[in-house]
Structure 1
Amino acid sequence: MLNMSGKQLIKLLKDKGWILDRIEGSHHIMVKRNKTLSVPVHGNKDLGKGLLHALMKQGGLK
């Protein structure tokens, strides 16, 4: 499993057609069609393995 920060994940999601809808605190809310995805961004800190896996699966990256 690779390590990735929230910023890096957002870049991948944007490449797959996800759009940044809004930012609420440290969470970037991405939307695509009727789906919503909340990606935590804490500088360049890597996301946890389980969270990264779940977000990638929900975002259609896996």
Structure 2
Amino acid sequence: MKVLTKDGWYIDRVRGSHHILKHPTKNGRVTIALHKEDLKPKTLQTILKQAGLK
């Protein structure tokens, strides 16, 4: 989450444990499910790819 906020992503809305982030200039949204356990590596890769960071 810190990596995305440093890149300019911000929380657009929250629905349960899912945080939907938007970027002021990039298209699309990124959804992150923030549960107590850590994200799986594949899930993290997918989130970074959606955000255009990988």
| Greater share of helix | 1
Give the paired residue count.
52
1:34 Cα deviation from its structure 2 partner = 2.9
The counterpart of 1:17, out of the listed 8, 33, 44, is: 8
Identity percentage of aligned residues: 40
The list of structure 1 runs, each at least 4 consecutive aligned residues, that deviate by more than 4 angstroms after superposition, is: none
* TM-score, normalising length: structure 1: 0.73
Unpaired runs of 5+ residues, structure 2, are: none
Unpaired runs of 5+ residues, structure 1, are: 1-9
Name the structure 2 match of 1:50.
42
Distance 1:22 1:48 in 2: 23
